[in-house]
Amino acid sequence: MAVNLGLPLNRIWHELPFKVSMGVAYSSIQYTFGILTTSPYIITQTDFLNNLTLGIGLKYLVTLSLGYTLSPITARTEIGNNLTTQSTSAHGIGAILQIPVVRVVSQLTNHAVLIPGRVKPTFDFRFDYSRAAGGPFQGEPFETLNVVVR
């Protein structure tokens, strides 16, 4: 199950000189890793995740998106008639910065950047960063940084 709700804040505060949006998302996921039959036991492993994500997006000349996710995790193991549960939580942050270089140059100089033949080129930089900790990431946090040129 998943539910998302977003709100463009410019609909409330019209005087803002840039676009701002906020959002919240919830998802509930259940993983069953199968049933293992070993004499005389039947073993079942199921994990339950309930993710809550909060995000904000800003757009002026560039687009910046920031998000935070909290994920409580419960692992349930059944061996025969014995049931054990373990709980932990993971959390992560993420950021995306997108820079449409041609559009930024055009707006700053008040002249459209054109290639002969009236073609408007596209040239973007995009930086993605994420960091997760807790849950399966016990110990050192897990980080990624991607740079995309388009």
Q: What is the pLDDT of residue 121?
A: 65
Q: What is the pLDDT of residue 119?
A: 65
Q: What is the pLDDT of residue 95?
A: 92
Report the alpha-carbon distance of residue 67 to residue 80 in Å, rounded.
42
Q: What is the pLDDT of residue 136?
A: 55
Q: What is the pLDDT of residue 100?
A: 86
84 contacts: CB under 8 Å, gap ≥ 6: 76, 77
Question: 2-149 domain in CATH 2.40.160?
Answer: yes
Quick one: which of 74, 83, 20, 22 has its CA closest to 47? Answer: 74
CB 93 within 8 A of CB 67: yes
**Domain segments of the chain as ranges:** 2-149
Report the alpha-carbon distance of residue 88 to residue 46 in Å, rounded.
14
CA distances (Å), 70 to each of 17, 38, 89, 92, 94, in order?
Answer: 31, 36, 7, 7, 12
pLDDT by position in tens, the chain (length 150): 999 999 999 888 888 889 999 999 999 999 888 788 877 888 888 989 999 999 999 999 899 999 999 989 898 988 888 889 988 888 889 999 998 888 888 888 888 777 676 666 667 778 888 888 765 546 667 778 788 877
Quick one: which of 78, 74, 83 has its CA closest to 29? Answer: 74
